[in-house]
Structure 1
């Protein structure tokens, strides 16, 4: 019985690596002896596990060459098939899968969200109890544009930032990522060009690959892209969209200056390019100028969600845009998903926002993160990892590694130590961020720091 348990542990371990694309179609599996050492079992146990996986069709045995992941098991048919070929450690799909699918016991300095105990769980539980008393919210579809109460609350929050927006110009979506996907579906056709920052949020690159459009990039500095370089690229490449984080840019943590926001929105308007401004981190640094406010939602579309500040489980994003675009996007969301987020989620979110608890939660969260960023910056610097700049908010630091350290190699070593990293080139369309790493200060434990330091030295686990 013990032997069966050990064999099952090995087979499940290999299955997990294939599912998360740590092993992809055509990859050679570790030798029997190497896997025996990795899993702490006998070679005979590994042989039995490999034989089971061969029988399942997940792997194939090649005489005198070893075992390989089956092409039937791993051939990519979705967006990854259209993405640029990259090493696993710098493939956006691979990093997303590692962050989402790995066990909660694994350290994840590379993930892009806060730990559960940093979120307003009591307020969420109270709101969900209240919502659960309404049978209609538990069983019916929502309205096509989404909960009018929540849309009105979002409009009021915009007004506090200087952005006048009627609730009818706001569409609730199933997530922030879906909001951008809907915009791409509406405004792009295959072969169009999209402008991205370099570096940028890695899921933008994955989304562009899914839509089979061409990406070009502009270097992102601490206060945004250089306006001259930005204008030159826009004039030469004629992109249809520019997708960006203007506030607490992911991954650098920079924010647009008022001057840059004016210049970039003016350049985009002059060339007929639509700006998609993803302000998912707005509540972490209120008061930062936005291109949507300067433009008045004429040529700028604003998107966001509540996954970073409230709950990633209550999926809800939003789009604020011109009325005719909102009307078309509403129809498109109906066609592709028969409506937006579930009423139970939007109603719970609106209840949390309506109370003073959310404001107090964010005030305390900003203070807590400021302390965490400062403390983590000192600890990282002490081991040779130097944070770049001083973000005005948020939970990540964009860090430079010591000379000669490749962040993809470092990510591979750390993964063997059960630590998931986000290496720089995951975020870089031009693959020019080899020596950078994005660190989530709320998910970096003492253990993760130690493994990071040991991995930089090249020590084996």
Structure 2
């Protein structure tokens, strides 16, 4: 079978797997490949297109899932005799027409039909993750004995927790396995902690602006959100003490490093002031460090400065390795974890041991460390390009980090309302997140969150839209 098309190796918007699936699907639907035609073997096809066997295997698996091809034992892959040409709809899919609030953002941000215009989303393009390593590891792990119960361990897979103890030393965090609880991502960790220790009506300190999904979760639980104003150096310590005296909270939930949505990180001076203030008023800090692995090694954290008696620390692999693996973890003292694991088991029994084994394998091989180094460099480039684009269009940056996912920006010397801007963007199939979504009290403002990678990749689309606002 001859080479039917040429792969575009420089296409950052479409993965090699998707290019192959699209081309093979077209060949089948246009009858270039007839029913019951035998396809090249995985090795032959990999050689034909000069790609890895993992890429071809994934493409064949997707075609089989669509019913376009099927596999015969020891005979290879064949074009199915049952495939039908799907109905073609040339109309451009529209974003779901709901008020632009937290629910709208969640609903549309995961809509894959408009993924190239998701300029405010919270993840990376698929080919920015180590897909081949994950696919290879999944195949290897699937052959392992997953235990008698199949549910996994309440605290999470022990070998992974042991490996994490070693991994954390790179960030000056020294803990034992009984200080780690594996969760289904950082969002799950935040839910477990808030549900365990807080009740309806409790006052809780949060960042302002802060992580919109978690703020929505606290509102749903009827907590009293006390927003602490943030600057490029972190929280306003003076204002925070005033709020503490008024509201008497017991917890401060903060995302102090590469903060969502601002991208800012706590300064060392502010970190010391914050810890002294929390100790003075006996307030427990929940340090959401979901993007911690994107920080340089030996970066400070609140938990490394103050220890587990004062800080509950959260980390995750969702921002670096693969979001749908859903592996995060909580670091806390043993008495705290004993309470948290109880809630985890009541609501989800255990976390996915299959995903935990995949993460363990990738950590052990050293591939993760190499991937992170490359990812930091790529994000640094995306930050420069995105920051230059926004400032050239007359936008002011909250701060300018060199890693992480986000830039927070607003039109400079302009009366443009970010909510109206988001409405205009929605009408053009563009997803933007305005600043009110990140306000603990839903206060309107002119800020917008930008994902630096999608902003870089879609800069022509975004530039055209933002430029039109000034006309």
Q: TM-score range by the shorter chain?
A: 0.7 to 0.9
Counterpart in the other structure of 1:360: 370
- Matched residue, 2:215: 205
Counterpart check, 1:283 vs 2:296: no
SS in 1 for 2:120: coil
Q: Matched residues in 2 for 1:279 and 1:220: separation?
A: 16
Contact 1:110 1:440 in 2 (8 A): yes
1:404 paired with 2:415, answer yes
2:461 aligned with 1:448, yes or no?
A: yes
What is residue 257 of structure 1 aligned with on the other side?
267
Tell which deviates more after alignment, 169-178 or 264-273. Answer: 264-273
The superposition leaves residues 428-447 of structure 1 with CA deviations (integer Å, 9 ceiling, x where unpaired) of 22445621111111112034
Separation of aligned partners in 2, 1:312 and 1:332? 23
Give yes or no for the alignment of 1:317 onto 2:328: yes
Query: Structure 1 regions of 5+ residues with no counterpart?
Result: 24-87
The two structures have a TM-score, normalised by structure 2, of 0.76
**2:323 partner SS:** coil
| Structure 2 counterpart SS, 1:453 | helix
> Does the aligned pair in 1 maintain the 2:393–2:467 contact within 8 Å?
no
Alignment of 1:3-402 (within 5 A): 17=96, 22-23=97-98, 88-89=99-100, 91-136=101-146, 140-286=150-296, 287-339=298-350, 341-402=351-412
Is contact 2:93-2:113 (8 Å) kept?
Answer: no
Q: What's 1:32 paired with?
A: none
Match of 1:415 in 2: 426
Contact 2:105 2:433 in 1 (8 A): yes
Q: Partners of 1:116 and 1:262 in 2: how far apart?
A: 38
What secondary structure sits across from 1:250 in the alignment? coil
Contact 1:138 / 1:344 at 8 angstroms: preserved in 2?
no
- Give distance in 2, aligned partners of 1:13 and 1:226: 43
Aligned to 1:56: none
TM-aligned CA deviation for residue 135 of structure 1:
4.1
How far the C-alpha of 1:346 sits from its partner, in A, is: 0.4
1:385, distance to aligned residue in structure 2 (A): 2.0
Give the TM-score normalised by structure 1.
0.78
Shift of 1:272: 2.1
Q: Is the 1:230–1:264 Cα contact (8 Å) retained in structure 2?
A: no
Cα pair 2:389 2:463 within 8 Å, conserved: no
Task: Give the RMSD, CA atoms, in angstroms.
Answer: 2.2
From the superposition, tell whether residues 252 and 137 of structure 1 become closer, same or farther in structure 2 (CA, over 3 Å).
Answer: farther
4+ runs deviating over 3 angstroms = 430-433
- Equivalent residues of 2:261, 2:406 under 8 A apart: yes
Name the count of aligned residue pairs: 381
Q: Secondary structure at the match of 1:390?
A: coil
- Cα 1:113–1:139 change in 2 (3 A) is farther
Counterpart CA distance in 1 for 2:411 and 2:216 is: 25
Q: Secondary structure at the match of 2:415?
A: coil
